[in-house]
């Protein structure tokens, strides 16, 4: 307990609170948040006016929800600072016909549908701080283990490597004789420039002799440090695998019963975007999705519903700001101008996140139910002005009418929402629970396992 004259503990341990000039300055601040009118200055589209709203088409039969988690855990004596990384991606497949009874109630209870979903996992271990794996450095161990994991881990019978290889091809990274063009040797101290490496098995740099792997173009290893935390690298790799696993689920349907893509929906936690060194993958991901879109269009079926949901970050923060000012059910289409005006400052002459996103941002506000309803910033694949459907040519189409899956997509969001979690969607709640590695428990369990198996 603090003495009566002391500032309570929660504030007291922030030393800067004792700086009087600082406090005075804070007192001088004038606040000017957007007024309700400004915050909602752009046009929202009532759900009944969305493209496709007049006929929603056949009901969805199943939905895939995806989420991932990662943890970096210390191994053994903390003085030696040895760490390993673990990634767990969970894909939950929900049969929507069996949750219909539940869904007829206003909100579905996740615990009641848990047993109706089928879980699929992609898990992998990565060498982190001061840890090696059949290679002389942490850096090279990471590259080797990424390649091995890609070869060994599967999504519905297809290896991550097969999925990756197709993306490489779609990105025009495979040149003559199936070689991959690398702009620079991936070994840390080598400056050897452009070379053409084997695209299916390990190769060696002609200058330094280091092993080079077909997965090196992902360049995640550039974020790996031998003696520091590698959470940044784990995040980039986890993001990549998330995209590939969800795409793999869609691809498996495409290969077996492509017409089922019409009644299957795909939802991932996080944006349809890949950041950092592996950002180039956003373009072939988009390209692959457009193949499914074109098939559905050309066979007169309902459009593909493939979505990302912002749970954190600028769009999620913006959604919280405006949620009470929106009268649902409605959709806000974020144009470039809207985004730069209201969400994130940026260069207005350029399409938002052109080099990282394959999705276009929207926001869905549900009608009021219990509480204030759901407010969900979401993404669906971008449309471009040039080229055929799905081709990345020209600028992003801003006109809502081009996004023919919108009405169907928000009807699904409506059906999947739950009040058990704020802005919760059943498949994502289940995927999150399935994937999450609790930080503390993860440290204890994986740290101990690593010690035991090392004996
Ligand atoms: Zn080299």
Q: What is the pLDDT of residue 2?
A: 41
Ligand 1 centroid distance, CA of 375 (Å): 50
Instruction: Quote the pLDDT of residue 4.
Output: 42
The encoded tokens of residue 420 equal 């058990």
CA of 187 to the centre of ligand 1 (A): 5
Measured in angstroms, how far is the CA atom of residue 89 from the centroid of ligand 1?
A: 33
| CA distances to 56, 71, 111, 128, 219 from 243, in Å | 27, 19, 27, 23, 16
Higher pLDDT, 115 or 201: 201
Average pLDDT on 18-45 reads 75
Per-residue pLDDT of 167-182, as tens digits, reads 999 999 998 788 999 9
How far is the centre of ligand 1, averaged over its atoms, from the C-alpha of 131 (Å)?
A: 22
pLDDT per residue over 365-391, tens digit each? 998 765 668 999 999 999 999 878 877
Distance 334 CA to ligand 1 centre (A): 45
What pLDDT, in 10s, does the model give residues 329-363? 999 998 877 787 778 777 777 778 888 999 999 99
| Confidence (pLDDT) at 3 | 43
What are the backbone angles phi and psi of residue 14, rounded to the nearest 5°? -90, 100
Name the β-bridge partners of 169: none
**Going by C-beta distance under 8 Å and a sequence separation of 6 or more, which residues neighbour residue 120?**
90, 91, 92, 93, 155, 156, 245, 249
- pLDDT band of residue 38 (cuts 50, 70, 90) is low
Locus of tokens 């694949």: 381
Residue 11 confidence class, pLDDT cut points 50, 70, 90: very low
Q: 193: CA distance to ligand 1 center in Å?
A: 8
pLDDT of residue 390: 73
**Closest C-alpha among 98, 97, 125, 102 to residue 112:** 102
Q: Cα–Cα distance between 125 and 154 in angstroms, integer?
A: 15
CA of 206 to the centre of ligand 1 (A): 7
Q: What is the distance in A from the centroid of ligand 1 to the CA of 224? A: 17
Report yes or no: 17 and 23 within 8 Å, Cβ to Cβ. Answer: yes
Confidence (pLDDT) at 284: 96
Supply the mean pLDDT for the chain. Answer: 87
Q: Is the peptide bond before 329 cis (omega within 30 degrees of 0)?
A: yes
Name residue, tokens 């899956």.
405
Query: Residue holding tokens 């794996």?
Result: 133
Compute, in angstroms, the gap from residue 35 CA to the centroid of ligand 1: 57
Using CA atoms of 91, 251, 383, 181 in order, give the dihedral in degrees to the nearest 10.
Answer: 100
Q: Report d(CA 250, CA 385) in Å as an integer.
A: 25
Residue 435 has pLDDT above 70, yes or no: yes
Question: What's the rounded Cα separation, in Å, for the pair 428 and 416?
Answer: 9
Q: Please state the rounded mean pLDDT for residues 97-106.
A: 62
Q: Spell out the SS3 assignment of 56-91.
A: CCCCCCEEEEEEEEEEEEEECCHHHCEEEEEEEEEE
Q: How far is the CA of 209 from the centre of ligand 1 (A)?
A: 6
Which of residues 439 and 201 earns the better pLDDT score? Answer: 201
Distance 311 CA to ligand 1 centre (A): 41
Report the C-alpha gap between 364 and 406 in whole angstroms: 10
Spatial distance between the Cα atoms of 199 and 316, rounded to a whole number of angstroms: 39
CA of 127 to the centre of ligand 1 (A): 21
Confidence tier at 35 by pLDDT (50, 70, 90): low
DSSP strands (E only) in 322-396? 330-333, 359-365, 375-381
In our burial notation (b when 16+ CB lie closer than 10 A, e otherwise), range 285-315 reads bbbbbbbbbebbbeeebbbbbbbbbbbeeeb
pLDDT-derived band at 419, boundaries 50, 70, 90: confident
Residue 318's CB is within 10 A of a number of other CB atoms, namely 23
For residue 252, give Cα distances in angstroms to 179, 261, 351. Answer: 26, 10, 32
* Structure confidence at residue 342 (pLDDT): 77
203 CA to centre of ligand 1 in angstroms: 11
Q: What pLDDT does 104 receive?
A: 54
> In the structure, what pLDDT confidence band is assigned to residue 453 with cuts at 50, 70 and 90?
confident
Q: Which residue has the higher pLDDT, 64 or 441?
A: 64
Cα(210) to centroid of ligand 1, in Å?
A: 6
- Condensed to tens digits (0 to 9), the pLDDT of residues 231-274 reads 999 999 999 999 999 999 999 999 999 999 999 999 999 999 99
Judged by average pLDDT, the poorest of 10-14, 48-52, 123-127 is: 10-14
Q: Is a pLDDT exceeding 80 seen at residue 107?
A: no
Can you tell me the mean pLDDT for 315-323? 88
Interval 215-240 mean pLDDT: 92
Gap between the Cα atoms of 385 and 268, Å rounded? 26
| Percent with pLDDT over 70 in the chain | 89
Of the ranges 111-125, 210-224, 325-339, the best mean pLDDT one = 210-224
The answer to whether residue 26 scores a pLDDT higher than 70 is yes
């Amino acid at each position: 307990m603090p003495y009566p004259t002391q500032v309570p503990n929660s504030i007291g341990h922030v030393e800067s609170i004792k700086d009087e000039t600082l406090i005075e300055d804070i007192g001088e601040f004038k606040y000017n948040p957007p007024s309700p009118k400004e915050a909602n200055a752009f046009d929202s589209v009532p759900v009944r006016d969305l493209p496709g709203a007049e006929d929603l088409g056949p009901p969805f039969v199943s939905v895939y929800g995806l989420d991932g988690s990662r943890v970096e855990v210390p191994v053994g004596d903390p003085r030696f600072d040895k760490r390993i990384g673990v990634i767990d991606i969970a894909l939950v497949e929900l049969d929507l016909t069996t949750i219909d009874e539940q869904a007829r109630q206003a909100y579905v209870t996740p615990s009641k549908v848990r047993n109706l979903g089928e879980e699929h996992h992609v898990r992998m271990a990565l060498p982190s701080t001061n840890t090696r794996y059949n290679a002389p450095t942490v850096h090279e161990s990471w590259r080797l283990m990424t390649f091995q994991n890609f070869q060994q881990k599967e999504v519905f019978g297809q290896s991550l490597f097969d999925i990756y290889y197709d993306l490489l091809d779609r990105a025009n990274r495979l040149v003559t004789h199936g070689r991959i063009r690398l702009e620079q040797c991936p070994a840390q101290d080598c400056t050897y420039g452009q070379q053409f490496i084997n695209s299916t098995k390990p190769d060696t740099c002609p200058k330094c002799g280091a092993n080079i792997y077909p997965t090196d173009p992902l360049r995640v290893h550039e974020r790996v440090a031998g003696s520091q935390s590698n959470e940044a690298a784990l995040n980039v790799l986890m993001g990549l695998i998330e995209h590939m696993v969800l795409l793999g689920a869609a691809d498996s349907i495409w290969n077996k019963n492509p017409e089922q893509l019409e009644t299957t929906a795909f939802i991932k936690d996080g944006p349809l975007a890949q950041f950092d060194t592996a950002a180039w993958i956003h373009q072939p991901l988009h390209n692959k999705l457009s193949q499914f879109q074109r098939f559905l269009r050309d066979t007169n079926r309902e459009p593909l519903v493939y979505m990302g949901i912002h749970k954190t970050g600028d769009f999620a923060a913006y959604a919280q700001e405006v949620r009470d000012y929106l009268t649902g059910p409605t959709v806000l289409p974020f144009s470039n101008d809207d985004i730069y005006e209201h969400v994130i400052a940026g260069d207005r002459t350029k399409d938002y996140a052109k080099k990282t996103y394959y999705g276009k941002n929207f926001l869905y506000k549900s009608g009021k139910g219990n509480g204030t309803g759901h407010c969900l910033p979401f993404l669906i694949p971008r449309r471009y002005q040039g080229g055929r459907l799905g081709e990345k040519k020209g600028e992003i189409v801003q006109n809502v009418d081009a996004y023919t899956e919108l009405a169907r997509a928000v009807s699904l969001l409506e059906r999947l929402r739950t009040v058990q979690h704020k802005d919760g969607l059943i498949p994502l709640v289940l995927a999150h629970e399935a994937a999450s590695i609790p930080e503390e428990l993860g440290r204890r369990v994986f740290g101990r396992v690593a010690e035991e198996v090392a004996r």
